[in-house]
Amino acid sequence: MKVDEVVSDMGVSGGVSFADRNLGKVLLPKMQEGDVLIVSEVSRLGRSMYDLSKLIHDELKPRKLRLIVVGMGIDLNCANITPIDQLILSNFSFAAELEKHLIRERTLSALAAKKARGEKLGGAADKWRESFENKTQEQKDKEHMKKGKTRNSRHLEDRSVSATFKVLRNVFPEATKDEDPAMWAWAKISCGYDNRMKILSMMKDYKSIDPTLFPKWNFDDMESNYTMHKLASWIQSLRKSAITRRENETK
């Protein structure tokens, strides 16, 4: 078979709807009747049974596309998909969705067990405290300024921050073309209702894959004013951190 084009959505969870990934934004609009869509596994189509069903019946079937899932040996003519074909895909999709939840449960269980054993999860060492207390105020002030720059840099390298940048690139592609977030058109990044729901939904999907992301976020009530203001504040802090880092680098 001849592969005409490879479209990747590296770093984006399959838990994110296909319509919000390159699958729906870039690839599907290009495909015509008789084309073949090849993916490595069902989870690349989606980790939601509902989303997979919507993809097949609303996109692949009307376009009369052929679907090949390499890892599972699936080869379907979506124009004439049978109930058995749909059942097979749904079973694989259910397994992918279940795996997403099991990963989260295992991680939370491991953390709870560690806490129950009384193991220390963080904090400064006694040796560091003694050294800090013996320093003069001038030394402490200089270190504080230096650490401020370092802390800002590390903040931008935090995995939750990196994940948020990926989400913003996905939701606001025109405003985030530059590789450096300090150069983004931040004025075009808004937290209006539709945008807010897209951003929070993608953040929630990232967290469902990796529970260590966004540890202080609760996505159960995404429509509340509290969550809206928290998101706006979070995005504003990322903008300031990105600009501060660029200013420090140019000094």
Q: Do residue 82 and residue 157 come from a single domain?
A: no
Are the beta carbons of 110 and 211 closer than 8 angstroms?
no
Residues 241 and 144 in one domain: yes
**What is the average pLDDT across 115-121?**
71
If we measure between CA atoms, which residue out of 160, 228, 237 comes closest to residue 197?
228
Is the separation of the CB atoms in 20 and 202 below 8 Å? yes
Contact 75, 38 (CB under 8 A): no
Is it the case that residue 121 has pLDDT exceeding 70?
Answer: no
Domain assignment present for 9: no
74: enclosing H helix or E strand: strand 74-77
Q: Quickly state the pLDDT bin for 124 (edges 50, 70, 90).
A: low
For 90-110, what is each residue's pLDDT tens digit? Answer: 777 777 677 767 777 887 787
Angle in degrees, CA 144, 147, 153, rounded to 5: 150
Q: Are residues 144 and 89 part of one domain?
A: no
**Inside any domain, residue 63:** yes
Q: Among 228, 225, 248, which Cα is nearest to 236's?
A: 228
At residue 132, the pLDDT reads 66
SS3 label, residue 65: coil
User: Residue 102 is which amino acid?
Assistant: L
pLDDT digits (tens, 9 = 90+) for 52-90: 888 888 888 888 999 888 877 888 888 888 888 877 777
CATH assignment of the domain containing 47: 3.40.50.1390
What proportion of the chain, given as a percentage, has pLDDT over 70?
84
Residue 189's pLDDT band (boundaries 50, 70, 90)? very high
pLDDT for 143 = 63
Q: How many domains does the chain have?
A: 2
Per-residue exposure over 88-113, b if at least 16 CB sit within 10 Å of its own CB, e if not: bbeebbeebbeebeeeeeeeeeeeee
Same-domain pairing of 49 and 144 = no
Residue 44 pLDDT > 60? yes
Would you say residue 199 has pLDDT above 90? yes
Question: Quick one: average pLDDT of 172-197?
Answer: 90
The reported pLDDT for the residue numbered 184 is: 93
Cα distance between the two ends of the chain: 54
Whether 174 and 242 map to the same domain: the answer is yes
Mean pLDDT of 189-197: 88
Domain carrying residue 83:
18-93
* 120 within some domain: no
What span, in angstroms and rounded, lies between the C-alpha atoms of 13 and 21? 9
Q: Which amino acid, 111?
A: L
Phi first, then psi, for residue 108 (nearest 5°) are -65, -40
Put the strands of the sheet holding 66-69 in their side by side order.
36-39, 66-69, 74-77
- 75 has which bridge partners? 68
Query: What is the pLDDT at residue 50?
Result: 77
User: What pLDDT is recorded for position 167?
Assistant: 92
- The C-alpha atoms of residue 76 and residue 74 are separated, in whole angstroms, by 6
- In this model, does residue 149 exceed pLDDT 50? no
Question: Strand pairing partners for 68?
Answer: 38, 75
Over the chain, what is the mean pLDDT? 80
Q: How many CA atoms lie within 13 A of 56 on its CB side?
A: 25
Top pLDDT among 129 and 226 is at 226
Q: How are beta strands 74-77 and 66-69 bridged, if at all?
A: antiparallel
Residue 216 or 170, more confident:
170
**CA separation for the pair 40, 125 (Å, rounded):** 47
Average pLDDT over residues 165-184: 91
The pLDDT, as a whole number, for residue 176 is 94
Per-residue pLDDT at 141 exceeds 70: no
pTM: 0.42
Q: Domain check: are 149 and 224 in the same one?
A: yes
